[in-house]
Structure 1
Amino acid sequence: MVDFAEAIEDCRLMDPGYDGAEFTWAKNGLMERLDRVLISEMTPQLFDAIRVTNLPRIASDHGPLLVRCRLPNAHGGGRAFRFQNMWVRHEGFGELVQEDWMAPTEVWASSI
């Protein structure tokens, strides 16, 4: 177990906590929280929320774990973009569009 604990620490994994049943395993009157979810340090940066729920045991001595992750809202909840034709008559509009169109992005695409 010491080696396993060291591996978890070396890999910088962490337990995000849980809701639901306190124990995930029961047998012969013994109850323990044996089943866990481990996430990397980077995982909370990828998701708005991570929720682990320990579900009740039904057909096994182990209870299932439900992991839910909420993706960030890419649209930010803002209003839809509306193009106004008057913009094309604005001085510098063409240059601005060309500069922005040519600017590098962090998007990566591959041809399949």
Structure 2
Amino acid sequence: MDKGGKKWRFVGIYGWLEAANKRHTWELITRLCKDEGPIVFGGDFNEVLYRNEIEGGAGKMRRSSSDFQNTVESLELRDLGYNGIWYTWERGKRKKNKIRERLDRFLASQSWCAAYPMAQVFHLTRFKSDHTPILLRCDGRPRGKRRKERRFRFETAWLLEEGCEKVVREA
């Protein structure tokens, strides 16, 4: 990408699901980091980075988690954090079998972080998926701040107002 004279690479990630193959994801990230220039990885890594990113289930770190952690540390990649709910994946309806994990994230090189110090990540509202969508804002502006456009918001209390139905029908 080239924005304002700054060139950098974005790599979308969908990490291997099978434990035996997860090393392929870490190897790919390592190979791509050997090229010069700022880089950011984003997507579903299919692995947690830290123990506190798991709730429910066995709740223990997997071998592939430590391999992921070692890859991130050795390449000096930075987890860009998030705004919103902490988890990005959820399975199970009942409390006893519910599992939540932070599998989706953005990781960036030191040079990318230096070029975009105001970058922010947002965990958006999940809809019809077991994954939460994630959004990276490079400009540091808060999400939802629009310049000219004002959003219409319907208030349920208006239904109690006489003539509300007429106004809606006419609109």
Letter in 2 for 1:49: M
CA distance in 2, matches of 1:18, 1:33: 10
CA distance in 2, matches of 1:48, 1:22: 22
CA distance in 2, matches of 1:70, 1:31: 30
Contiguous gaps of at least 5 residues in structure 2: 1-63, 93-97, 141-171
Between the two proteins, the alignment pairs up a number of residues equal to 71
- Does the Cα contact within 8 Å between 1:21 and 1:56 map onto a contact in 2? no
| Structure 1 partner of 2:82 | 18
CA distance in 2, matches of 1:16, 1:27: 24
- Does the Cα contact within 8 Å between 2:80 and 2:105 map onto a contact in 1? no
Structure having the higher Rg: 1
| Structure 1 partner of 2:100 | 31
In proportion to residue count, which structure has more helix?
2
Asked whether 1:49 is paired with 2:118, we answer: yes
Divergent runs of 4+, >2 A: none
Pairwise CA RMSD of aligned residues? 1.6
| Structure 2 partner of 1:106 | none
Cα deviation, residue 65, structure 1 = 0.4
Secondary structure (helix, strand or coil) at the match of 2:119 reads strand
Letter in 1 for 2:84: G
CA distance in 2, matches of 1:30, 1:48: 33
Aligned identity (percent) is 38
CA distance in 1, matches of 2:68, 2:114: 25
CA distance in 2, matches of 1:39, 1:48: 11
What TM-score does the superposition give when structure 2 sets the normalisation length? 0.39
CA distance in 2, matches of 1:41, 1:26: 31
Letter in 1 for 2:106: V
Q: Deviations over 1:17-39 (max 9, x none)?
A: 11012211110121121211111
Secondary structure (helix, strand or coil) at the match of 1:5 reads helix
Cα deviation, residue 44, structure 1 = 2.1
Secondary structure (helix, strand or coil) at the match of 1:37 reads strand
Asked whether 1:65 is paired with 2:134, we answer: yes
Q: Deviations over 1:67-99 (max 9, x none)?
A: 01018xxxxxxxxxxxxxxxxxxxxxxxxxxxx
What TM-score does the superposition give when structure 1 sets the normalisation length? 0.57
